[in-house]
Amino acid sequence: MHFTVVFESHESAQLAYGLVFTPCPCWTKTAATPEEVVINLHSDNPQYAKGDIDRLLNHIAAGTDVRPFGNQRPGRVFFEEEGNPRRACIVVHSTGNGTPADLAMLEEDLRDKGFSVQTVTFGGEGWE
């Protein structure tokens, strides 16, 4: 399996990232091609590790993928602004080298960072 994490965001900022295992875990902005890898987490461990969310959150906070729109300040991140909720949705895809343990660790990491987390599985409950 592999995962897509979608953070609640302003309309002008699309904060969706893939967590793929090719073969080691990498955060990607879109598809899992080498030129779209945002962060290669670690090349010596093929599993998601506790705290791996930190590097992605630091990347987002740096404003690398958040472009200003209208009168917004550069790097404006919805979930970091006072009063805005910290919500994330994890989409679970059935293909890939991720494991249920990777998913559980990712969910735990997000909750430890104060996010309310909802997990949706393609082909899971509610799909026809």
Tens-digit pLDDT profile for the chain (128 aa)?
A: 999 999 887 666 677 888 998 888 988 886 555 556 677 888 888 889 999 999 888 877 776 665 555 555 545 566 666 667 788 999 999 888 999 999 999 999 999 999 999 999 987 666 66
pTM, entire model: 0.81
Matching residue, tokens 């080691």: 24
List the domain boundaries for the chain.
Answer: 2-121
Q: Are strands 16-21 and 25-28 parallel, antiparallel or unpaired?
A: antiparallel
Q: What is the CA radius of gyration of the chain?
A: 15
Which residues lie below 8 Å from residue 38, measured CB to CB, with a gap of 6+?
Answer: 17, 26, 27, 28, 29, 56, 59, 64, 65
The DSSP symbol for 73 reads P
Q: Return d(Cα 113, Cα 53) in angstroms, integer.
A: 9
DSSP string, 34-54: GGGEEEE--TT-SS--TTTHH
If you ran DSSP here, which 8-state letter would residue 15 be given? -
Beta bridge partners of 16: 6
- Cα(101)–Cα(121) distance, integer angstroms: 15
Give the per-residue pLDDT at 34.
53
Cα separation, 15 vs 77, whole angstroms: 9
